[in-house]
């Protein structure tokens, strides 16, 4: 059971008390790559790196050492729509962790000498992705699907764009985009909520309210494409997909179930059984359904020998057409639901794994669903629901693709 409160400056606090010697907390900021202007490509991710490079009272080493010296950890990540700074630590160090997260998010100074050094680090990160076709193809697919829109910005940016950033650029980005009413502090650990709130008020409460004054540009540039890119290497990589539902649409629930049925983590998924087990066409196949504020993206990725790509694609669409034309039987659907519910339960059995979904749920929906509520949503999906989303999304002529051959 979670408890929540909103501080006077708009920062929302959500906490779940659990019996454990280890606690986890994070600040989730509703700011990501889609909030960059055209000249800011890569700024959100670069800012996340620079948060650890010095504050008004600590140098980079002292920031990292603050939690690590007591056995804790500090980490961060950036996505298209969010930035997150987190920490895991022994329960006795709650106040230390909260104070540090506040220092990192609100007091970073972005020294120019550190900007220049970190630029080289991110260039190396960009090169690493480019050297890995099975990773790079996802970035190219999203960039093409969301071309000419902020959602199409590569999270890492480009060598050219990030080389132009200066200290004032970071200070301006944070001042405009790190809004207190768009922040959630999430905690999972063995601490009384009232005590936690007092710590949060002491540290986060000292920051002035800064409410969001801009709106995100909605995506409207739907397109369809099929690209073939010649790459050096033995194996080919293929990704195909279509636009899908946002995180506020009820149809996202049957869509998550359908994605899991097709090529979720289970070895018994339909596409894994067909392409790998029955025909030996691919070692690796997966489906992904990503939701954003106003749109979603469904995709299927697989690797194979070049001469087997077309055969594999045809086989995939035969499976997609089956979902469009043939209703799942009662037993078949029941098994699919139980499998997904079991996966959710296993993922949620770790407090560390619960932290980010809890924070994101509270950010997007203003509430946190219990496992029973999530299971009930999955159980409510009908065979008709699955056919409906399949017929809306799995239309071959609407699919786009990229093939690295």
How far is residue 284 from each of residues 77, 264, 267, 296, measured CA to CA in Å?
Answer: 26, 11, 10, 23
Q: Which two tokens stand for residue 355?
A: 């932290």
Residue 238: name the closest of 290, 293, 284 by CA. Answer: 284
Residues 141-173: tens digit of each pLDDT: 999 999 999 999 999 999 999 999 999 999 999
Q: Which two tokens stand for residue 339?
A: 């499998």
185: confidence class by pLDDT, cuts 50, 70, 90: very high
Residues 323-381: tens digit of each pLDDT: 999 999 999 999 999 999 999 999 999 999 999 999 999 999 999 999 999 999 999 99
Q: Which two tokens stand for residue 78?
A: 């950036």
What is the reported pLDDT for 292?
98
Residues 6+ apart with CB under 8 A from 170: 43, 46, 47, 50, 108, 110, 115
User: What is the set of domains in the chain, with CATH numbers?
Assistant: 2-206 (3.30.830.10), 226-404 (3.30.830.10)
Q: Which two tokens stand for residue 197?
A: 């709130």
402: confidence class by pLDDT, cuts 50, 70, 90: very high
CA dihedral 54, 56, 58, 59 (to 10 degrees): 30
The pTM assigned to this predicted structure is 0.94
How far is residue 97 from each of residues 26, 104, 190, 195, 253, measured CA to CA in Å?
Answer: 9, 11, 14, 14, 35
How many beta carbons lie within 10 A of that of residue 350, not counting itself? 10
- Using CA atoms, how far apart are residues 121 and 16, in angstroms rounded to an integer? 36
What is the reported pLDDT for 129?
87
User: What mean pLDDT, rounded, does the chain reach?
Assistant: 96
- 186 touches 25 (CB < 8 A): yes
Q: Which two tokens stand for residue 397?
A: 């002529």
- 225 touches 127 (CB < 8 A): no
């Amino acid at each position: 059971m979670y408890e929540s409160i909103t501080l006077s400056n708009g920062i929302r606090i959500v906490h779940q008390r659990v019996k454990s010697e280890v606690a986890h907390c994070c600040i989730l900021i509703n700011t990501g790559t889609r909030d960059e202007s055209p000249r800011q490509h890569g700024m959100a991710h670069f800012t996340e790196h620079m948060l650890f490079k010095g504050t008004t009272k600590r140098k980079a080493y002292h920031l990292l050492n603050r939690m690590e010296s007591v056995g804790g950890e500090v980490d961060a990540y950036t996505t298209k729509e969010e930035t997150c700074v987190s920490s895991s630590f022994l329960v006795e160090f709650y106040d230390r962790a909260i104070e540090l997260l506040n220092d990192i998010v609100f007091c970073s100074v972005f020294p120019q000498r550190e900007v220049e050094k970190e630029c080289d680090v991110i260039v190396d990160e960009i090169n690493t992705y480019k050297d890995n076709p099975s990773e790079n193809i996802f970035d190219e697919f999203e960039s093409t699907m969301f071309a000419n829109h902020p959602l199409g910005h590569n999270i890492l940016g480009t060598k050219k764009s990030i080389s132009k950033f200066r200290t004032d650029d970071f200070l301006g980005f944070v001042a405009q985009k790190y809004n207190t009413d768009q922040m959630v502090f999430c905690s999972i650990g063995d601490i009384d909520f009232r005590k936690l709130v007092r710590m949060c008020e002491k540290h986060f409460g000292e920051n002035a309210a800064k409410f969001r004054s801009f709106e995100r540009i909605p995506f409207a540039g739907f397109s369809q494409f099929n690209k073939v890119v010649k790459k050096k290497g033995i194996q080919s990589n293929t990704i195909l997909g279509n636009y899908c539902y946002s995180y506020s649409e009820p149809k996202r629930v049957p869509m998550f179930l359908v994605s899991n049925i097709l090529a979720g983590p289970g070895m018994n998924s339909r596409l894994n059984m067909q392409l790998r087990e029955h025909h030996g066409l691919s070692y690796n196949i997966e489906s992904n359904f990503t939701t954003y504020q106003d749109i979603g993206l469904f995709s299927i990725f697989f690797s194979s020998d070049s001469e087997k790509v077309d055969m594999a694609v045809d086989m995939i669409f035969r499976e997609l057409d089956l979902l469009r034309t043939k209703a799942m039987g009662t037993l078949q659907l029941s098994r699919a639901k139980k499998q997904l519910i079991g996966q959710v339960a296993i993922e949620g059995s770790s407090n560390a794994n619960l932290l980010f979904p809890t924070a994101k749920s509270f950010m997007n929906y203003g509430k946190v669903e219990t496992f029973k509520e999530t299971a009930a949503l999955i159980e409510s999906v009908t065979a008709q629901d699955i056919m409906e989303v399949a017929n809306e999304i799995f239309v071959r002529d609407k699919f786009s693709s990229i093939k690295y051959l």
